[in-house]
Structure 1
Amino acid sequence: MTAAPSAWVQRFAHLLPAGAQVLDLACGSGRHARWLAAQGHAVTGVDRDAHALAALPPEVDTLVADLENAPWPLPDRRFDAVVVTNYLWRPLWPQVLASVRPGGVLLYETFAQGNAAYGKPSRPDFLLAPGELLQVCAGWTVVAYEHGLLRQPERVVQRVAAIAPGLTASPPVALSA
């Protein structure tokens, strides 16, 4: 059974337009790819684990790619939304941000400094510094940002929901209650 999608992704999925083209980066078993596809979005899941990708339903496009040791697998592709959870490879920041269309959405959630007290990952290379996602999204419209302790399981995370710059006279962001 696939784990439930992140509450963060579910909370801010309303920012995606109907039928959005979504990139689920380092998607693993595809918990977000499955859920977003079930919401009517056109999802592309990318991961290095071919076995995990093979288990995704046919409505999810999949791409086996080593994001850390090979060229960016989606040059010149832009998406209405990019979703990244529980994954951090800082050299990819430029490609991740460039993959979001102007006015598109970045939903990012991963481990942050302080997580070592609760388990892995514990290496600083895999933990966001306080405010790091805000720095990465400088110039974007940040709809929401959090950094702190989550329970069940206990872990320290940082997460952002941000809209890429580039559209003029865009409508205001619809916030959920």
Structure 2
Amino acid sequence: MSVEILTLVGSLRAGSHNRQLAEAAAKLAPADVTVTVVDGLGDVPFYNEDIDTDAALPPAAARLRTAAERAHAFLYISPEYNGTMPAVLKNAIDWLSRPWQAGAMTGKPVAVIGTALGQFGGVWAHDEARKAAGVAGGTVIDDVKLDIPGSATRFAETHPYSDAEVAEQLTKVITTLAAKATA
């Protein structure tokens, strides 16, 4: 069985190290695993139940849900903004949590990883994203963690894909997440 892992990146910045981490995940995925990085999260409006209807559903939110419905698992990759996850990632989780207890990520495995400037690599943001994903219905894989500190220095001249330690750990994240999706 081929496994589809949908990846949401919490940074909208074009040169984001977290975006690069997502690109590395896609490159490092085994042959039977497809890692798809979602583009356009910045186009998804803030969740509002008034527009979450068949008649008013924004196209960007519909595309996100369609991609999520096809996915077998989710990989959330997040920086840390002011001690928590970025609003764009939380907003995507909110859209995927609806309808309540029947959203597109309900019962599917979710892993949260990322890199940040600080010495802890975004641990607080990752913990918050795990909490939100779990409440939203995802099956959070708590033992799959990758929190990479000092992103500005570590990846100043090296793409995460070319960092042997990161590549090894990222490969483990992807293979573990894929195994949980087929279990």
TM-score of the two chains, using structure 2 as the length reference: 0.43
Name whichever structure is richer in helix by fraction.
2
Name whichever structure is richer in strand by fraction.
1
TM-score of the two chains, using structure 1 as the length reference: 0.44
